[in-house]
Amino acid sequence: MSAIGRILSSRAGIIITGIIVGILAPVLVRQGNPGNMGICVACFSRDIAGAIGFHRAAAVQYIRPEIIGFVLGALVAALIFREFRPRTGSSPLVRFLLGVMAMIGALMFLGCPWRAYLRLSSGDWNAILGILGLAGGICVGILFLRRGFSLGRAYAASRSLGWIMPLLMIGLLVLLIVAPQFGRDPQGNPAGPIFFSAKGPGSQHAWNWLSLGAGLLIGFLAQRSRFCTVGAVRDLILLKDAHLFSGIVALVLTAFVTNLALGLFKPGFAGQPIAHTDGLWNFTGMVLSGLAFTLAGGCPGRQVILSGEGDGDAAIFVLGMIVGAGLAHNFNLASSVTGPSPYGPSAVTIGLIVCVALGFFMRDKRTG
Amino acid sequence: MKDAKTVDARGLSCPQPALLARKALDSISGGIVHVLVDSATARDNIVRVAEKAGIKATVLNMPDGSFQLSMTK
């Protein structure tokens, strides 16, 4: 087992993870997930937020087993390789805010960095501006890191803290299977507590156990290889280290080939699934996301994985993303296929101001 | 002039441990840099950063599960 662990921690491991994501994501689309959304940590967190009633956007409500699998797969890997290390205390409130902001930016673009790369690999050229925006946001984050930005240290915590996120995910899995309904409102609509979309992206999903299995495998591999779609660009620029970036190259190339093989490659700007063509706001939304992820130390997938290995601060970031998704839909900030909402640009601008202010002011003199 | 520097990067998020290690290596003309980290991710990142600078990092596993990396420039 230790030999497997060593391989997965090496350059080969990060490339294997990218290849597996690049195969599984288009397969999940072919098996029922929404277009170019085989894996999207932001979209899936948003669907989960809707499923538990944090927002009532009827088209995007579902408990996505992929996210549950990410956390539990990472937990299993961390336990096997003795990396389950409960910890917290690194500015959790700031991380919560960063999670909210990252989600507002991602829902402007309609996808997290994972989906941005997957959209690119299937010929959605709107993703090019999104990825450029992501890189721009990461560059702004790097400027802050260079001048000493820090959220401070995390400290070892009680073992029970590390189990909270995995247990929450098992709770979500039970809710997915049982889908309890506490009656109906006077109009005959389900009164919750669980809401599943009857139409729209939330109603489109692969077989649950396939999604869960894919999530478990990716969660396991990503925990071992430290796969991170934001750290990839950050390390390339900041440390001249292409280790993580090689995983992204593997993901994009493999997903491109798999999309071609499955007949899912459709190049162009217009008419792409769950995407809009407003280049300015595709770019700016991802600037916000890239900045928020960089300040928090990793992409949304990485945060979910870290939450599975006991990182309470990453768990708070993930919960911030789920609350951010609720805010984005309840306040009508999220884009649709027709373009940004009337209020989205203001929200992204406010988010940028908040993140830049955090970048300036959050400096830990003891560690800088 | 041989310098010795110790950096405590325990509990810090990515990429701060690697960044602090590189800063410490850049700040000395010759000598040894010790970096304390408490995650395997930070340990591996620093080993790679040191390798890029042509420096070998030796890793000491500490009893509390943390790691001490030593790099001689």
Q: Is the pLDDT of residue A174 over 80?
A: yes
User: How far does Cα B21 stand from its chain's mean position?
Assistant: 5
What pLDDT score does A185 carry? 82
Q: Do B44 and A231 touch (CB under 8 A)?
A: no
Helix (H) and strand (E) counts in chain B = 2, 4
Q: Is the pLDDT of residue A1 over 70?
A: no
| Whether the Cβ atoms of residue A153 and residue A147 lie closer than 8 Å to each other | no
Say whether pTM exceeds 0.90.
yes
Which tokens hold the place of A222? 């990503």
Nearest residue in B to A297, CA atom: B14
Which pLDDT band holds residue B70 (cuts at 50, 70, 90)?
very high
Higher pLDDT, A312 or A185: A312
Which percentage of chain A shows pLDDT scores above 70? 99
In the chain, the amino acid numbered B23 is K
Scanning every residue of chain A, which has its alpha carbon at the shortest distance from the alpha carbon of B7?
A367
The beta-carbon neighbor of B41 closest among A226, A241, A367 is A226
ipTM of predicted complex: 0.95
Q: Looking at the predicted structure, is the pLDDT value of residue A188 above 90?
A: no
Hunting for tokens 């989205």 — which residue is that?
A: A344
pLDDT of the residue at A368: 45
Whether residue A36 is predicted with pLDDT greater than 80 in this model: the reply is: yes
* Nearest CB partner across the interface for A153, out of B10, B44, B52: B10
Average pLDDT over residues A15-27: 98
State whether A87 and B11 contact (CB < 8 Å).
yes
Is A259 in contact with B70 (CB distance < 8 Å)?
no
Please tell me which residue of chain B has the smallest CA distance to A224: B41
Degrees, nearest 5: CA angle A173-A178-A183:
130
pLDDT reading at B55 higher than 70: yes
User: Using beta carbons and an 8 Å cutoff, which residues of B are at the interface with A?
Assistant: 8-16, 18-20, 22, 38-41, 44-45, 48-49, 52, 65
Average pLDDT (A199-218) is 98
A248-290 pLDDT per residue, tens: 999 999 999 999 999 999 999 999 999 999 999 999 999 999 9
Give the closest residue to A216 by CA, choosing from A297, A304, A112, A314: A304
Residue A367: pLDDT band (50, 70, 90) is low
What is the CA B54 to chain-centroid distance, rounded? Answer: 14
B13·A90 Cβ contact <8 A: yes
